[in-house]
A and B are shown apart, each in its own frame.
Chain A
């Protein structure tokens, strides 16, 4: 009780100094909350852009398909009901949100005067729209289009070919039977992903049309992209699916982390950064608290000597000083939480608009939204709070021990605070 009273009242003896220290803790905490919030937001954004744009959370291929992407390494499930039936089974079994079968090839597009190489991609527009966003706004043009043999082009590619909606495009490619597949298609829509390599190289067809061009069976595909509830669980999901019997014997599943290792590296790195930031800020705060408490103990030399002389044991003295800085820490964390929550209220809803500086930007091969929104991650908020509080207490420990070890005779001879 006496320890509590001393700790609390001593805190307000030099209110200015205490308030400065409290604000230092508060600013440190608010800074950690917002900065980590923004970094987590960035990581979330990169992950969701990376996976939602085109990748999906995991993909199934023939085991030899990657990285060469050979036309011949197709998958065809051997269920009686064919591909569609098999996908339904898979969905039901794994409680998958969405999956989308795809076929790929390389080919030459030409309008007569102009031509360009392109990556040809065949998708089921409905399934694809449920899984990814790169065809947002134009997916229905592949099904509902009046055009015979519809085709979607990336906007840069369309520009290169000087093609617009309605333009006729001749597509030439190698088919699996060794013949030269070629056919006429009509541009039914133009998409823009913001990722240059997609916008300038991707041509998207209805799945069956491309399969026919490539002389593939309806059940033969190159890839099935899948999305699951929690992208962070993709590795475990891929592992368990790889062990399951439902997979065709030559099929292999890879998570987004395997497919885009740079993305996984970034998220790992970001996590390391959070810890590093917490340590740095905690160190700053510790220096501030150490300074404050050293001064406090120094100013109180005489009265500490007095209670020492009276016979007060060292521990209550140590504890009252630790408690004082505990109060500093807790008040600082409270204020910092308020400040941080206020900033986060803005940053999570409005976000930071980076357009002014960056324009459209991509990072590590994923398109970035120029408005960066922060995301609360309570684990890191908690770790920040714990880190700051521990550093506050550790920083006070040295002055506290010093106080407990003061020689009463010398301390009583010390000058007195005014």
Chain B
């Protein structure tokens, strides 16, 4: 056994949707595992099952067949509340867009997870101000999402995901709504945080330039893992 800590493991996971008479296999016998500190992209065309995979991986959705673990938590046997608790404790999220609560400012959005976890106010504040600076948003703490650019909003989402130092950060097409320059700098930011905090990242994309930044790419085709290969150019 490797000395690396296991963060996420899917074993023979399938997710079927009933569409009228037909059964859609959004995920088809997916087996994969992520170790601590990995920086992994899920690639695949639209409809290949990327979102479904991420949802199943964190218990937002349940697999029709197969087993899922986050660290040593076996998700199949957990109820909805326990899953919510697990996400709060172990997972950070970055979605494609509209990631933030509109009535909360950047700082409040970034501290949301810490707040929900019950971290004391002073500790929260220090952590959030530091992480906002780290993602390049110093000075914009009091802005509401509507007063931030798309890239800045995504940085707030990254700050929120990372502030609580989760085991795993999931991002579903985090750059899809950004221009390529902004997308690239967001990726670089995620990479930097991955390096500095040893946080495991799993993000989906169909943008080849984003894919290139990943250290490992899992290619999905029709819900199946087509290829799962490391990127030699990276660590």
- Taking CB atoms and an 8 Å cut-off, the chain A residues in 1-59 that contact chain B are 2, 5-6, 9-10, 13
**In the complex, A308 has a CB within 8 A of chain B:** yes
In the complex, are the beta carbons of A303 and B98 less than 8 A apart?
A: yes
A408 CA / B172 CA spacing, docked (Å): 14
**In the complex, B108 has a CB within 8 A of chain A:** yes
**In the complex, B65 has a CB within 8 A of chain A:** no
Q: Which A residue's beta carbon lies closest to that of B89? A: A311
In the complex, are the beta carbons of B95 and A306 less than 8 A apart?
A: yes
A303 CA / B99 CA spacing, docked (Å): 8
A9 CA / B98 CA spacing, docked (Å): 18
Cβ contacts under 8 Å, A316 to chain B: 116
In the complex, are the beta carbons of B88 and A310 less than 8 A apart?
A: yes
User: Contacting A310 at CB < 8 Å: which of B81, B98, B104, B116?
Assistant: B116
A338 CA / B93 CA spacing, docked (Å): 47
In the complex, are the beta carbons of A311 and B103 less than 8 A apart?
A: no
**In the complex, A416 has a CB within 8 A of chain B:** yes
User: Contacting B108 at CB < 8 Å: which of A5, A307, A408, A417?
Assistant: A5
A311 CA / B108 CA spacing, docked (Å): 16
> Given A6-B103, A409-B55: A308 and B84 within 8 A (CB)?
yes
A408 CA / B98 CA spacing, docked (Å): 14
Best-buried of A9, A311, A312, A416 by chain B (most CB within 10 Å): A311
**In the complex, A302 has a CB within 8 A of chain B:** yes
**In the complex, B85 has a CB within 8 A of chain A:** yes
A246 CA / B162 CA spacing, docked (Å): 89
Cβ contacts under 8 Å, B55 to chain A: 409
A314 CA / B86 CA spacing, docked (Å): 15
**In the complex, A313 has a CB within 8 A of chain B:** yes
Chain A residues with a Cβ closer than 8 Å to the other chain, count: 22
- Taking CB atoms and an 8 Å cut-off, the chain B residues in 105-144 that contact chain A are 108, 112-113, 115-116
Q: Which B residue's beta carbon lies closest to that of A13? A: B103
How many whole Å from B16's CB to the nearest CB in chain A?
15
Cβ contacts under 8 Å, A302 to chain B: 98
Cβ contacts under 8 Å, A87 to chain B: none
**In the complex, A146 has a CB within 8 A of chain B:** no
User: Contacting B95 at CB < 8 Å: which of A9, A10, A412, A417?
Assistant: A412
In the complex, are the beta carbons of A311 and B88 less than 8 A apart?
A: yes
In the complex, are the beta carbons of A311 and B87 less than 8 A apart?
A: yes
In the complex, are the beta carbons of A309 and B108 less than 8 A apart?
A: no
**In the complex, B102 has a CB within 8 A of chain A:** yes
**In the complex, B101 has a CB within 8 A of chain A:** yes
In the complex, are the beta carbons of B87 and A309 less than 8 A apart?
A: yes
In the complex, are the beta carbons of B101 and A306 less than 8 A apart?
A: yes
Cβ contacts under 8 Å, A5 to chain B: 103-104, 108
In the complex, are the beta carbons of A310 and B87 less than 8 A apart?
A: yes
In the complex, are the beta carbons of A310 and B113 less than 8 A apart?
A: yes
In the complex, are the beta carbons of B103 and A10 less than 8 A apart?
A: yes
**In the complex, B147 has a CB within 8 A of chain A:** no
Mark interface residues in A375-412 (1 if CB within 8 Å of B CB, else 0): 00000000000000000000000000000000011001
Q: Which A residue's beta carbon lies closest to that of B172? A: A412
A311 CA / B91 CA spacing, docked (Å): 9
**In the complex, B148 has a CB within 8 A of chain A:** no
How many whole Å from B19's CB to the nearest CB in chain A?
15
In the complex, are the beta carbons of B61 and A309 less than 8 A apart?
A: no
**In the complex, B60 has a CB within 8 A of chain A:** yes
Cβ contacts under 8 Å, B93 to chain A: 309-310
How many whole Å from A315's CB to the nearest CB in chain B?
11
User: Contacting A306 at CB < 8 Å: which of B85, B88, B99?
Assistant: B99
Cβ contacts under 8 Å, A417 to chain B: 102
A308 CA / B115 CA spacing, docked (Å): 14
In the complex, are the beta carbons of B85 and A303 less than 8 A apart?
A: no
A408 CA / B150 CA spacing, docked (Å): 22
In the complex, are the beta carbons of A311 and B116 less than 8 A apart?
A: yes
Cβ contacts under 8 Å, A416 to chain B: 97-98
How many whole Å from A243's CB to the nearest CB in chain B?
65
A412 CA / B170 CA spacing, docked (Å): 15
How many whole Å from A295's CB to the nearest CB in chain B?
16
- Taking CB atoms and an 8 Å cut-off, the chain A residues in 270-313 that contact chain B are 302-303, 306-313
User: Contacting A409 at CB < 8 Å: which of B60, B88, B104?
Assistant: B60
In the complex, are the beta carbons of A307 and B101 less than 8 A apart?
A: yes
In the complex, are the beta carbons of A310 and B60 less than 8 A apart?
A: no
A408 CA / B55 CA spacing, docked (Å): 10
A interface residues with partner B (beta carbon < 8 Å): 2, 5-6, 9-10, 13, 302-303, 306-313, 316, 408-409, 412, 416-417
Q: 16 A-B contacts, Cβ less than 8 Å apart?
A: A2-B116, A6-B103, A6-B104, A13-B103, A306-B101, A308-B84, A310-B87, A311-B84, A311-B86, A311-B89, A311-B91, A313-B81, A313-B116, A316-B116, A408-B60, A409-B60
- Give me the 8 closest cross-chain CB pairs, A-B, nearest first: A311-B88, A9-B103, A311-B87, A311-B84, A416-B98, A409-B60, A303-B101, A408-B60
Q: What 19 additional pairs, Cβ within 8 angstroms, besides A311-B84, A416-B97?
A: A2-B112, A9-B103, A13-B102, A13-B103, A303-B100, A306-B98, A306-B100, A307-B112, A308-B84, A309-B87, A310-B116, A311-B85, A311-B88, A312-B88, A313-B81, A408-B60, A409-B55, A412-B95, A416-B98
